[in-house]
Amino acid sequence: MAKKTYDLLFKLLLIGDSGVGKTCILFRFSDDAFTTTFISTIGIDFKIKTVELGGKKIKLQIWDTAGQERFHTITTSYYRGAMGIMLVYDITNEKSFENIVKWLRNIDEHANEDVEKMILGNKCDMSDKRTVSKERGETIAREHGIRFMETSAKANINIERAFSELAGAILEKTAGREPGDPADRVYVDRRQQPSTTKSCCN
Amino acid sequence: MAYRARLKEFDDILNQDVIDLNSLRKLSFQGIPDDQGKRAKCWRLLLNYLPLEKEKWDTQLEKKRALYKQFIEEMVVMPGEKESNGDVTMGDHPLSINPESEWSTFFKDNEVLLQIDKDVRRLCPDISFFQQPTEFPCLEIVNSNDIKRLHTRVQRRVLNCANVERKGLGITKIALSVKKACEDYAPMAEGKEAHWEVVERILFLYAKLNPGQGYVQGMNEIIGPIYHAFASDPDILFREHAESDSFFCFTNLMSEIRDFFIKSLDETDHGINKMMNRMLVQLKNSDMDVWLRFQQLELKPQYYSFRWITLLLSQEFPLPDVLRIWDSLFSDESRFDFLIYVCCGMIVILRNQLLSGDFPSNLKLLQNFPPMDVQDIISKAVELSKQKIF
């Protein structure tokens, strides 16, 4: 049987409209490479990467989901077990940004209440095709009290950082649940301090 | 020699005036030779596109191909003309809220098209076939400046703004930003179109003709191998009609598997959940140890077999292997029972690794099936299907 080679296991989920680059983000993170020739994800894909954070080995189990509506019944069943969710849109695709609200509602409906969320505006290398400004991304993230970053899987911008920040936030939470072990607490530097009040979307 | 003999066996069946479907199934089940367009020929029969009576073939082909031409005319050419003419009349205009508005249909179509466009550009990236130009482009579309090609209908247009640079005294440089992202699947020049554009049109027409179902991701993976087989037919008389013929074969095939693609039918008799359950039951019968291990690990069939079944395994293997597997699947009298056995066979073949692996390594293995001789998998599947009798 495989030996336990890690201290903690975090389950992460990538969601967002089809074609925004979820698979590419994950591929950049897990294999440090980029390709434009990905077949569309059908159902759910799965990757693992072990990272070190605060002196702990953390195994990230990352689920990559299909974006299209048809697959939602299959994919929403994974929300429950997820400790962190990355919600991706494409900065060159207005519609994918508008749908963020829909995806957030999905999370509210299906995920654990205390799941850590993060919004990623991907393809930020394609500035000549940008239709969603960074400010709009920041605003929606602030409104919902969620972390936000612009990323590019192609140019390798913020990919590593996004995952380690999300993992860091989960770690902080997990550590917080273990009283008497304050040494485990890790200070995570958050550039955009999210507002503490979680606003309800209605 | 054995290969020659096999070819002859096929010829013997295909040369009959009335094709003996049972013999054809039996033979095709063992794999159809890649040569002489045999596969395309057999698939046309196995997928009920051509009737068994040979004398009816010409009329059937003529009728269907003419019908397809008409679909293109009505659903691609005419709307394309309208848009490019910017036909703004009192009755109908782009901002019309009338549900009957042709413009509103046009915009709705474009949403479907946008999804198809994303997917056909991602079809079989490991081979260059789909990026190559077809010998037989749709002439009405590629030779006219006025008609919009489907993919240009969903091209995102960005307004360019000029960069004004001032240098020193009074010299003003105005530069128009023309930086363009390079496209791997760049559209072809006037008069040409790539195979992926043809596939895009097939899927678009299918979605238009089946509005209840529309286009669902993964359908591109179903049409891909069929179109590939038809468009590589050495017989030019068939090759030039690869588009329409594969459209109808795809439609027939979809009529059998479309429930996999419809969310509201997940729980029904032909829905995907039922299929995954059947696979799991079969696995329990075939290999209790692996089944138990999966139970222990809570490795659910949705995690891996959802894609296997929905796409008839087309994403799990390289194209030549997919074609080979499909020969057997299409020859299955009770389609798609054999698919269940192939899926189980794939698992059983990996049993040693699966029994010792943990959840993540097993799932990775199943989602990225290791390269192996596809014949071994088929043989295993046949073995499992025979076990069932006892």
* Residue among A1, A37, A128 minimizing CB distance to B125: A37
Beta bridge partners of B174: B164
Q: What pLDDT is recorded for position B99? A: 66
Q: What pLDDT is recorded for position B307? A: 93
Of A113 and A4, the one with more pLDDT: A113
Residues of A in contact with B314 (CB under 8 A): none
Exposed e or buried b per residue across A161-175, where buried means at least 16 C-beta atoms within 10 angstroms of its C-beta: ebbbbbbbbbbbebb
Instruction: Give the integer Cα–Cα distance in Å for B132 and B11.
Output: 31
Please answer whether residues B150 and B206 qualify as being in contact, where contact means their C-beta atoms are separated by less than 8 angstroms: no
Chain A contact for B268 (CB, 8 A cutoff): no
Highest mean pLDDT among A125-134, B117-126, B129-138, B188-197: A125-134
- pLDDT tens, residue by residue, B281-315: 999 999 999 999 999 999 999 899 999 999 999 99
Instruction: Please give the mean pLDDT across all residues of chain A.
Output: 85
Q: Which stretch of A32-41, A47-56, B12-21, B238-247 has the lowest confidence by average pLDDT?
A: A32-41
- Give A24 to chain B, closest Cα distance, Å: 13
Please answer whether residues B344 and B384 qualify as being in contact, where contact means their C-beta atoms are separated by less than 8 angstroms: yes
Where residue B186 falls among pLDDT bands split at 50, 70, 90? low
Asked if A126's CB is within 8 angstroms of B216's CB, the reply is no
Instruction: Please give the mean pLDDT across all residues of chain B.
Output: 86
ipTM of this complex: 0.77
Residue B157 has pLDDT above 60, yes or no: no
Chain A contact for B306 (CB, 8 A cutoff): yes
Where residue A199 falls among pLDDT bands split at 50, 70, 90? very low
Exposed e or buried b per residue across A87-102, where buried means at least 16 C-beta atoms within 10 angstroms of its C-beta: bbbbbbbeebbebbee
Q: What pLDDT is recorded for position B370? A: 96
Chain A contact for B119 (CB, 8 A cutoff): yes
* Residue among B122, B184, B367 minimizing CB distance to A45: B367
Tokens 């789909």 identify what position?
B130
Where residue B350 falls among pLDDT bands split at 50, 70, 90? very high
Where residue A69 falls among pLDDT bands split at 50, 70, 90? confident
Q: Which token pair is B64? A: 């269907």
Q: What pLDDT is recorded for position A186? A: 47
Q: What pLDDT is recorded for position A41? A: 86
